[in-house]
Amino acid sequence: MTTLRPFTCDDLFKFNNITCRQHEAVLYGIPFYLQYLAHWPEYFIVAEAPGGELMGYIMGKAEGSVAREEWHGHVTALSVAPEFRRLGLAAKLMEMLEEISERKGGFFVDLFVRVSNQVAVNMYKRLGYSVYRTVIEYYSASNGEPDEDAYDMRKALSRDTEKKSIIPLPHPVRPEDIE
């Protein structure tokens, strides 16, 4: 039981239960959120519990060249508060982002995830995503942890009938080589 609705600026003030209670969730600066709200408001969806608590949110965008068949939906952030996990909420939010990307005529949806984050990698695999390539040292070091690689995971949309977009690259790439 969840209300899914567009994210609004006022939600920023209720954000503590998603971000503060959960260390791994990155809290971006206000400009970052505003940029997404200004450019891709439809891709920014929040889930709310009946008591008004924010349960989680997804934030994404559409980008890439149509001519090169690289037009796609991208998941920038997906976060669910610990007390609202194991309800299938992340899957629901992903499904919505995919649906929006379908409507925009995207070829695929992609996302980046830390290679160490096995829980997330497995979840995305269950949702039909596969590793397209590894991006070396995509996550820069923080808190004494070293740089970390990312998996670029993809799922083809119906427009990519032959699923060309998800054929894995044989070699890892560097962050500067990705668009």
Partner 1 sequence: MAARGHVQDPNDRRLRPIYDYLDNGNNKMAIQQADKLLKKHKDLHCAKVLKAIGLQRTGKQDEAFTLAQEVATLEPTDDNSLQALTILYREMHRPELVAKLYEAAVKKVPLSEEYHSHLFMAYARVGEYKKMQQAGMALYKIVPKNPYYFWSVMSLVMQAISAQDEKLAQTMFLPLAERMVEKMVKEEKIEAEAEVQLYFMILERLGKCVEALDVIRGPLGEKLTSELQSRENKCMMLYQRLQRWPECNALAHKLLLKNPDDWQFYPSYFDSLFHLIDQSWSPPEEGEHCPEGAVHHTVAEVVRFVEERIKGEDGKESRSLRGPYLARLELIHRLRERGCPEESMLGDPLELMVQFFGKFGDKPCCITDLKIYLHLLSPDQHVQFVNRLSEAVPLGERGEEGFAFPDDTKALQRHLCVCQLSRALGLHHALDVDGKLRLIVELKAHYRHGLKFGKNALKTELQFSDMYCLMAAHVYIDLWKETGDENMVWQGLGVLQEGLSHSASNAQFKLLLLLLYCHLGAFEPVVDLYSSLDAKHVQHDTIGFLLTRYAESLGQFAAASQSCNFSLRFFHSNQKDTSEYIIQAYKYGAFEKIPEFIALRNRLNQSLHFAQVRTERMLLDLFLEADIVLSLEESVKAMSLSAEEDDIPWDNMRDNRDLTVFTSWDPKDRELTAEHRRQSLEEESVWLRIRSLTLRLLASLAGSGHAPSQQNSEIANENGVGDKSSILSGLLSQLNQTLQTANQIAEKRIQYPFLGPPSTRLAPALSSGSCQCQAAALQLSVHLQELETVGLDESTELQTQICNAFKSLVVQLQEILNKCKGDLLDMKEGKLKTWPSLLENLIFFVETVCIVLWMASHCAKILRPLKTSLQKKKKKKKKDANTAQPVVVCGFQELTGSLQDLLTQALEYIKGQETGITALKLASLSLDEYPQDEASFMKAAMDKVQSSYLRSLQEAGDLLKKRAETIKNLKI
CB of 130 vs partner 1, minimal distance in Å? 22
Cα 93 to Cα 102: distance, rounded to the nearest angstrom: 14
CB of 168 vs partner 1, minimal distance in Å? 27
**Residue number, 5 or 125, with CB nearest to partner 1:** 5
Contact 4, 44 (CB under 8 A): no
Interface residues with partner 1 (CB under 8 A) are 1-6, 8-10, 12-17, 19-24, 27-31, 34-35, 37-39, 41-42, 45, 48-51, 53, 55, 82-88, 96, 99-100, 103-104
Which long-range contacts does 26-29 make (Cβ < 8 Å, 24+ apart)?
A: 26/77, 28/77
**Residue number, 17 or 134, with CB nearest to partner 1:** 17
**Residue number, 13 or 146, with CB nearest to partner 1:** 13
CB of 31 vs partner 1, minimal distance in Å? 5
CB of 10 vs partner 1, minimal distance in Å? 8
Among 174, 135, 176, 177, residue whose Cα is nearest residue 154: 135
The encoded tokens of residue 128 equal 């039909």
**Residue number, 52 or 170, with CB nearest to partner 1:** 52
Cα 154 to Cα 70: distance, rounded to the nearest angstrom: 12
Among 84, 64, 81, residue whose Cα is nearest residue 73: 64
CB of 176 vs partner 1, minimal distance in Å? 18
The three-class DSSP label of residue 133 is strand
**Residue number, 1 or 171, with CB nearest to partner 1:** 1
